[in-house]
Amino acid sequence: MKPQISVLIPVRNAEKYLPLCLSCLAKQTFTDFEIICIDSASTDNTLSILAQAAKEDPRLRFTTQENKGIAATRNALVQQAQGKYLAFIDADDFVFPAYLEKLYQAAEAEQAEITKCFFHEVEENGFPRVQEHCHSSFYRLCAEGDGARFRGGYEDSVLWGKLFLREWFVKHHFEFWTGRVAEDFCVVILAYMYAKKIAVVPEKLYCYRKGNASAITANSYNMAVGALLNLVDLKTDLIRRQKWNRQTAQEWMRATVWGICRFRKFSAGKRQEQQELLSRAFTAARESVSLCGGLSYLRWRLFFLLVKLSGKRSVYFWSKLFR
C-alpha cells in the first residue's frame, strides 16, 4: 500500500546533522510516510548513518549516486516517490513531532496542492537565531492572480516546510534545472502560479539551520548567480507555458532588477566574471518593459533611460533605487 507522504532528503557529507534530522522524523505523530534519501558520493560517515537508520525504521530507504548536483538529486527523489504528497527536507534541518500530521490534515481538509507552515531559523549549533530574517510577506495568505502568485512564490522560494500534491507536481513538469544552485527557486514560483489552493498552517513546525557555513546558501555570490540565471530562464519557461502576461512580467521585472542589484556588493572582478549573465538579464528586462502597464511601465521606462544616460555601470545604483 502506498504511503500518504514521501519525505525526500538529498544527502551529501551530512554526518554532523543527519542523525537529528532522521530522529525527528522517527518521532512524528503521523506515521503513514516513507523516507527516501539519495546520497551523492559522501566521503564521511553519512552512509553508515543511513544504513543504521534503515535497519531501525523500515520506512526509510536510500540509494547512492555520483555527485550530479542537488537539482539532479531532487529530480531523482521525485521519480522514486510513491506518496500522495511530497515533503522536501534538507539533511541539516529538523522538524517538530507534529510537522507531518498538521501539514497533512490541512492539505486534506482544504484539498490543497501546496500546504505550508512557518519556521524557525536556528544557528549552526541548533539554537534559535537572535534575529530571524524571514520576509514578513511569508506569513500572509497569497492572493489570487498570476502576479500575486508569482510574488508569493518568489518571497517563499524554498521547498522545505511544505507538502506538494505529487500527482499535480508531476503533471505540470516541475523539474529542477540541473547544473546550477538555487534550483528550487523557479519550481516554487511555478508551483504557486499553478496551485488552485494553497493552505497555511500558522505554526512554526520546521527548523531551518541558517548558520551552516558548508551549506550552498552560505555562498552569497553563487546564490546571486544562480538566482539571476534562473530568473532569466524562467521568462522563457513562462512564455512556453503561456503564463507570460502583464501581471507576471511586472513581477518578473521587479525580481530581475533586484537580481541585478545584488551584484553591487561584489567586486568588479566578480561582476566581470558574470558579465554575460548580467547582460542577458538586463536585455531580457529591457525587452519586457512594453508588456508592463500603467505606473509599472513608466517606472521601468525611466529606469532604463537613466541607465542609458548614466552608463551601464550605473545599473547597480539605479537598480537599488528602483527594485
Whether the model clears a pTM of 0.85, i.e. scores above it, the answer is: yes
Same domain, 122 and 58: yes
Q: Residue 208, SS3? A: strand
Q: What's the angle, vertex CA 39, arms to CA 20 and CA 50, rounded to 5?
A: 45
Q: Looking at the structure, do residues 213 and 233 belong to the same domain, yes or no?
A: no
Q: Higher confidence at residue 2 or residue 180?
A: 2
| Beta bridge mates, 130 | none
Q: How many CB atoms lie within 10 A of CB 279?
A: 11
pLDDT value at residue 213: 56
Asked if residue 178 and residue 267 are part of one domain, the reply reads no
For CA atoms 138, 22, 191, 300, the dihedral sign is positive
pLDDT given for residue 313 in this prediction: 81
Same domain? 138 vs 19: yes
The verdict on 170 and 255 lying in the same domain is no
* Per-residue pLDDT, 15: 95
> What's at 287, amino acid-wise?
E
Asked whether the predicted pLDDT for residue 137 surpasses 90, the reply is no
**Do 289 and 301 fall within a single domain?**
yes
* 238, 196: one domain: no
User: What kind and span of H or E run contains 235?
Assistant: helix 220-240
208 burial type by CB count under 10 A (0-12 exposed, 13-18 middle, 19+ buried): buried
DSSP assignment letter at 125 = T
Whether 188 and 48 map to the same domain: the answer is yes
The predicted model gives 122-132 an average pLDDT of 69
Q: Are residues 207 and 231 in the same domain?
A: no
Q: Is the predicted pLDDT of residue 286 greater than 60, yes or no?
A: yes
Q: Looking at the structure, do residues 160 and 242 belong to the same domain, yes or no?
A: no
pLDDT value of residue 228: 94
What does the pLDDT look like over 50-78, one tens digit per residue?
Answer: 999 999 999 999 999 999 899 999 999 99
pLDDT in tens, 96-118: 999 999 999 999 999 999 999 99
Same domain, 212 and 229: no
CATH number at 98 reads 3.90.550.10
Question: Which of 187, 218, 249 lies at the terminal end of a domain, its last residue?
Answer: 218
The residue assigned the cell 518571497 is: 155
pLDDT for residue 231 is more than 80: yes
Please tell me whether residues 135 and 255 are part of one structural domain: no
pLDDT value, residue 127: 67
Query: For residues 192 and 113, is the Cβ–Cβ distance under 8 A?
Result: no
Domain limits for position 97:
5-218
Give how far Cα 47 sits from Cα of 19, 42, 187, 202, Å. 11, 7, 29, 35
Provide the number of structural domains found in the chain. Answer: 2
Final residue in a domain of this structure, among 188, 218, 248: 218
